[in-house]
Structure 1
Amino acid sequence: MPELLDFQDAFVAALAGSPSALSPWLAPGEGAAGLAVYRNTIAKGCVDALAANFPTVLSMVGEDWFRAAAALFAREAPPASAALLDYGEAFPAWLERFPPADDTPYLAGIAHLDRLWTEALFAAEAPVLTAEALSVLTPDTLAETNLPLHPSVRFASFEAGLPNLWIAAREDREDLELSDQAQTLLLVRQGGAVTARVIGSAETAFLRACRDGLTSTQAAQRVFEADPTANLASLFATLISEGVFTP
């Protein structure tokens, strides 16, 4: 068993570019062709996984551009495990410093939203807080209660209209225009599917307050600071119906 573990470690090192690590088992040069095939297979798997995990980026830049960039990323940041379902955590940040993406400065933000969608999809399971469960609380108790966010909830704010652009691209719409209006995208998993919508400053303030552990009263104060005209009851009912909170 120890020898098998040693061989596995050496094999990983050889795939990473150090074939001499296999010298206790293979003569110099032996197995090079097999390693190349295996390495190419892994590289293709990484590129395919990135294409699956960042479909909006792929749709915007095209197949050739994306696969070339993904291959470079995979070489610099190989997967840490054999599971590739959520591979690419560092891809959005990598795109920010990728020179060929300089002409599309919004691309890293689009990749970030793709990544948040993946995180929402694979987030931990948890019960959803229902209106019925809240109805048994007294007003005073509810006022002092923190409403934890469901593990699948993700939201991100941008100074420009990246969320609407991202949604339009995901829906294959033709109106792919980037507005200069600040927007926040909310993602949450419902019934095994991830839903996404653009939310306003009031809802964003409420979610941030809940995320930071503030009470319902404090969260409501944040709402009216962000938008004095907000309809708090409607806002709260909508978030409850979307399964944003957990008991």
Structure 2
Amino acid sequence: MSELGQFQDAFVAALAERSAAPIAGWLPDSDGGGEAEPAGLAVYRNTIAKGCVDALAANFPTVAGLVGDDWFRAAAALFAREHPPASAALLAYGEAFADWLERFPPAGDLPYLPAMARLDRMWTTALFAPEAEPLAAEAFALAPDILAAARPRLHPSLAFAGFDSGLPGLWLAARQPEPGELALREDPQAILIARPRDTVTSRVLDLAGFAFLAAARDGASLGEAITAAGQADPAADLAALFAALIADGVFSGLDLGDPA
């Protein structure tokens, strides 16, 4: 490795370890002892720390809005110190933030906060997911037996999850420009997040819709996925459910199987 490369690695280590020791060999040493902590290192550390905090605020806006700017930025600074970014790109920084919040004592009085962070993360993941053209309704204009045997390919941006309480509804309400009074419902809810084209969309997903997508994710045919949806909610309007999912743009392909 070149000396420049060695210095770059040592400089990164000095920032991470909060010590000038890794770069001691490159520091001026006019008095024999060297400068223990060059002022410039603090400037670099503060710049990096601010960038991490700003990135977390952008990637977890619901969490930031619920706890307030002071609380969030203090927590984000602690997280950034424990979890420095792995690359210069901070667009998706914070993969471990939700798990970290579960262990963060000041968040103990806010048990919904890790879930809010996970939902924010799902939104960011959908935003940066690969592009794919969603299937239009015409793609499903097939004979009933062929359609039932077909296996759908889900859009790469699609994310969905189920919860034992109304956390998805709370998250959606908190993301409104004027959220008003927020309330957490006790009934189970699921969430659907996708970016089939230019904009990330999200909505509460009923039990039948969640069962359908979970079956499709696991490789089920459309007929099997519809059966799973009907078992999850016998009262569900399955035709309306399927039409809504097509409108959501959750399908990117259809593999035709053998009707037999």
Q: TM-score, normalised by structure 1?
A: 0.96
Preserved contact between residue 56 and residue 111 of structure 1 (Cα < 8 Å): yes
Partners of 1:30 and 1:7 in 2: how far apart? 17
TM-superposed deviation, 1:139: 2.2
Among 65, 71, 94, the alignment partner of 1:59 is 65
Preserved contact between residue 117 and residue 187 of structure 1 (Cα < 8 Å): yes
Look up the equivalent residue of 2:252 and give its one-letter code: T
Q: Please name the residue that 1:147 is paired with.
A: 152
Partners of 2:111 and 2:220 in 1: how far apart? 35
Q: Please name the residue that 1:34 is paired with.
A: 40
Look up the equivalent residue of 1:193 and give its one-letter code: T
Partners of 1:164 and 1:195 in 2: how far apart? 14
Q: Please name the residue that 2:120 is paired with.
A: 114
Partners of 2:158 and 2:223 in 1: how far apart? 21
TM-superposed deviation, 1:31: 6.5
TM-superposed deviation, 1:190: 3.6
* Farther off after superposition, 202-211 or 120-129: 120-129
Give me the identity figure in percent.
61
Among 181, 194, 201, the alignment partner of 2:207 is 201
Look up the equivalent residue of 1:164 and give its one-letter code: G
Among 184, 188, 209, the alignment partner of 1:182 is 188
Give a deviation string over 1:146-205, Cα, whole Å, max 9, x none.
111101111111111111111111003213001111100110114321111001100000
Look up the equivalent residue of 1:8 and give its one-letter code: Q
Superposition pairs for residues 1-247 of structure 1, below 5 Å?
2-17=2-17, 18-27=19-28, 28-29=34-35, 32-135=38-141, 137-171=142-176, 172-247=178-253
Look up the equivalent residue of 1:74 and give its one-letter code: A
Structure 2: unaligned runs, 5 residues or longer:
29-33, 254-260
Preserved contact between residue 143 and residue 217 of structure 1 (Cα < 8 Å): yes
Partners of 2:133 and 2:2 in 1: how far apart? 44
Preserved contact between residue 53 and residue 86 of structure 1 (Cα < 8 Å): yes
Preserved contact between residue 168 and residue 175 of structure 1 (Cα < 8 Å): no
Preserved contact between residue 148 and residue 245 of structure 1 (Cα < 8 Å): yes
Partners of 1:204 and 1:192 in 2: how far apart? 24
Look up the equivalent residue of 1:16 and give its one-letter code: A
SS of 2:252's partner is coil
Partners of 1:23 and 1:69 in 2: how far apart? 31
Preserved contact between residue 158 and residue 250 of structure 2 (Cα < 8 Å): yes
Preserved contact between residue 129 and residue 157 of structure 2 (Cα < 8 Å): yes
Partners of 1:242 and 1:88 in 2: how far apart? 27
SS of 1:148's partner is strand
TM-superposed deviation, 1:36: 0.6
Count of residue correspondences: 246
Structure 1 runs of 4+ aligned residues shifted over 3 Å read: none
Look up the equivalent residue of 1:99 and give its one-letter code: P
TM-superposed deviation, 1:106: 0.5
Preserved contact between residue 185 and residue 197 of structure 1 (Cα < 8 Å): yes
Structure 1: unaligned runs, 5 residues or longer:
none
Partners of 1:29 and 1:157 in 2: how far apart? 55
